Structures are given as structure tokens and as C-alpha cells.
């Protein structure tokens, strides 16, 4: 019995799949920190790519390059928001005046709105649903503030990681020399494999955001929207947030469209956003993700739908790399040639 167990433990595949099971269990119990972990990985990957690119062309010390890169990232974010927020605040402050002008232009809107409010105030179910909606809205605002805190923490953690990368590499290497090295080595290989696949997906997401931003700016230019540069920066950064980014960007786009062009421009912007979102969801995202991971487009499309149901908005980011990761774990080679179809000769 002992000999069989020892032989089983000495099998490399045993330690490999045991490490995989342990990583799945750790990820399951730490699922409450999923957003923080994913944002941290994203910032680490992007920061490390920038740092390594600079190190290949300059003799500067690693810690100095790291500080400069993160200061540059922080400066870009601050400059972007400094350009975006003041115009939005200015347009929002003029919104009540624009609504008054709309009512003066269409007096029937005021009477219709009053009648609608009277009908709603007399409906108990509407009042109950309104309270539920208000509570839900407050909860979403709370989650939004929590999301901002998560992004700030992830940015800080990635900075510390890249700053002390050499020290962390020595720390991790010590595990590979320990008594349980047969377990820690495959765990490290599995984590590195997933991070590499996930990094490829992040690069693809950046390409998708760039294409979406170009299409959106082109559409806004056709609709004669003002401040195209500011709106383009806003759309790009919000496009990095799966699904929710589109919904968040609708708020300032709708306000500016209504303030500068009235109802018709507002409707045109809403149609434009819907068309670009459909183009991304049903064509661009599945196709580019399929090319990045060598998955068939149909499999990628199904993966995006299922993973969104399981993981929420993050499923659009982690679903495809998870499938590609497990295919790699089970040694499924997607880069082989097309299978040959054998024809029956009638015997």
C-alpha cells in the first residue's frame, strides 16, 4: 500500500493536478477578493511591460524606472480626469435651464409630466418599487465607491510588486527549494501560465477599447458633438471596465448630447452607443479574443455568454483565459493543423 502511494506521489502528473486542485480551492475561498486580484494583475502586467521596455533601452536603475512609470500612469489619469470632469460639471449645471427651455418650447410636456406624477403618486406598487429602486441606487453608489477604493489599492499593490520584483523572485524561488518543492513548482508554473494567457487577453482588450474609441469619436464627429478629445479619453478609460463602462459613459454623453443638440442628438447618441456596443459584443470581442487564444469563434462566443452569467461583468475578461488555461493544462494543442477527413471506400 505504501509503495503504491509513494509511486503515485512520484508521478509528475499527480503533483501537477494536486497543485491545480489546491489553486482552484484557494481561488474559490478568496473569490471575495476577485476584483482586487484581477485589477492588481492587470496593473502589474501593464506596469511590468512598460518597465521592461524602458529597461531595454536605458541604463537607469530598476527602482527609478518603476517610480517614473507609475508617476507617468498617475499623471495621465489625473490629467485625463482633470480634462473630463470640469466640462461635465459645467454642462450638468446648465441642465435645469435646458429643461426649462424644452418645456417652454413644448408646453404639453409639462402637463403630461404632472399627470404622470399624479398617477404614480396614487399607485402603491409604484411607490414601493420606487423605494426599492432608491435603495438599490444607494447600494450601487456604495459599490461604486468601493470599486474606486479597489482600483486605488490594486494600483498601489502593483507598484510595490514591480518595485520589489527581484526580492519577490528570491522569495518565490525559496519555495522551489523547500521540502514540498514537488508541489510548489507546478503551482508556480500554473500561475505563470494563467498570468501569461490573461496578459494576452488584456492586450486584446486594449485593442478593442482603441477600436471602440475610434468608432465612437468618428460617430460623435458625424453628430457634431463638441469636445471630441475629452469624450474620446473618457470612452477609452471607461471601455476598460467590462459592460459597466458603457453604461457609465452613457451618463455624460447623454447630458452633453441633450445640452448641445436637444432630444434628437440625444437619441442619435443612444443609437450610436447601442450599435457600437452590439458590434463589440457580437463581432469584435469574440473574434479578437478567439485570435488571441486560438479558440474557435463559436467556443469564444459561448464562453463569453456563460462566463458572464457565472462571474458577472468580470466574466467577459476572465472567461476566455480560463478556458484557454484549462485547455493548456490538459495539454490540448490548438495550433495543430486541420484534421483530415477520411472518406469511406464502401467496404
Mean pLDDT value across the chain: 76
Q: Mind listing the pLDDT tens digit for each residue in 260-319?
A: 777 788 888 889 888 888 888 778 878 888 887 788 878 888 887 888 788 776 777 788
Average pLDDT over residues 114-139: 52
Highest mean pLDDT pick, 11-15, 172-176, 288-292: 172-176
Average pLDDT over residues 67-77: 86
Give the list of residues 6+ apart from residue 341 with CB closer than 8 angstroms, or none.
none
Cell of 243: 459592460
Predicted TM-score of the model (pTM): 0.67
> From CA 144, how far away is CA 133, in angstroms rounded?
16
116 pLDDT more than 70:
no
- Please give the radius of gyration of the chain, using alpha carbons only, rounded to the nearest integer: 26
> Where do the DSSP E strands lie in 81-215?
none
Tell me what pLDDT residue 274 has. 87
208 pLDDT more than 80:
yes
**CB neighbour class for 304 (10 Å; exposed up to 12, middle 13-18, buried from 19):** buried
The residues spanned by each domain of the chain are 16-109+133-329
123 pLDDT more than 70:
no
Tell me what pLDDT residue 220 has. 87
Tell me what percent of the residues of the chain surpass a pLDDT of 90: 3
On whether the CB atoms of residues 155 and 44 are closer than 8 A, the answer is: no
6 pLDDT more than 70:
no
Q: How confident is the model at residue 187 (pLDDT cuts 50, 70, 90)?
A: confident
Q: How confident is the model at residue 161 (pLDDT cuts 50, 70, 90)?
A: very high
**CB neighbour class for 194 (10 Å; exposed up to 12, middle 13-18, buried from 19):** buried
109 pLDDT more than 80:
no
H/E stretch holding 231 reads helix 228-239
> From CA 162, how far away is CA 175, in angstroms rounded?
20
On whether the CB atoms of residues 221 and 228 are closer than 8 A, the answer is: yes
Average pLDDT over residues 81-102: 63
Q: How confident is the model at residue 98 (pLDDT cuts 50, 70, 90)?
A: low
Phi, psi of 50 (to 5 degrees): -65, -40
Amino acid at each position: 500500500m505504501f509503495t503504491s502511494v509513494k509511486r503515485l506521489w512520484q508521478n509528475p502528473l499527480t503533483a501537477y493536478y494536486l497543485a491545480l486542485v489546491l489553486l482552484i480551492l484557494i481561488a474559490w475561498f478568496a473569490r471575495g477578493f476577485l476584483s482586487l486580484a484581477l485589477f492588481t494583475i492587470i496593473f502589474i502586467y501593464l506596469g511590468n511591460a512598460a518597465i521592461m521596455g524602458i529597461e531595454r533601452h536605458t541604463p537607469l536603475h530598476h527602482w527609478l524606472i518603476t517610480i517614473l512609470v507609475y508617476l507617468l500612469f498617475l499623471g495621465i489619469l489625473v490629467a485625463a480626469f482633470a480634462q473630463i470632469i470640469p466640462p461635465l460639471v459645467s454642462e450638468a449645471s446648465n441642465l435645469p435651464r435646458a429643461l426649462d427651455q424644452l418645456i417652454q418650447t413644448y408646453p404639453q410636456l409639462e402637463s403630461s409630466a404632472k399627470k404622470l406624477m399624479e398617477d404614480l403618486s396614487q399607485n402603491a406598487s409604484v411607490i414601493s418599487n420606487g423605494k426599492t429602486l432608491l435603495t438599490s441606487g444607494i447600494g450601487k453608489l456604495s459599490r461604486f465607491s468601493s470599486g474606486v477604493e479597489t482600483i486605488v489599492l490594486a494600483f498601489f499593490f502593483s507598484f510595490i510588486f514591480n518595485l520589489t520584483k527581484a526580492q519577490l523572485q528570491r522569495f518565490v524561488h525559496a519555495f522551489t527549494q523547500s521540502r514540498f518543492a514537488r508541489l510548489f513548482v507546478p503551482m508556480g508554473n500554473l500561475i505563470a501560465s494563467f498570468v501569461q494567457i490573461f496578459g494576452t487577453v488584456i492586450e486584446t482588450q486594449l485593442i478593442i477599447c482603441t477600436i471602440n474609441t475610434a468608432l465612437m469619436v468618428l460617430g460623435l464627429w458625424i453628430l457634431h458633438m463638441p469636445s471630441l478629445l475629452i469624450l474620446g479619453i473618457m470612452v477609452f478609460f471607461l471601455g476598460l471596465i467590462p459592460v459597466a463602462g458603457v453604461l457609465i459613459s452613457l451618463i455624460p454623453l447623454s447630458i452633453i448630447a441633450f445640452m448641445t443638440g436637444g432630444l434628437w442628438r440625444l437619441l442619435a447618441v443612444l443609437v450610436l452607443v447601442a450599435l457600437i456596443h452590439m458590434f463589440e459584443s457580437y463581432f469584435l470581442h469574440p473574434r479578437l479574443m478567439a485570435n488571441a487564444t486560438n479558440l474557435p469563434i463559436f467556443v469564444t462566443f459561448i464562453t463569453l455568454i456563460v462566463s458572464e452569467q457565472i462571474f458577472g461583468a468580470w466574466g467577459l475578461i476572465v472567461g476566455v483565459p480560463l478556458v484557454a488555461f484549462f485547455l493548456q493544462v490538459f495539454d490540448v494543442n490548438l495550433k495543430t493543423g486541420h484534421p483530415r477527413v477520411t472518406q469511406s471506400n464502401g467496404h
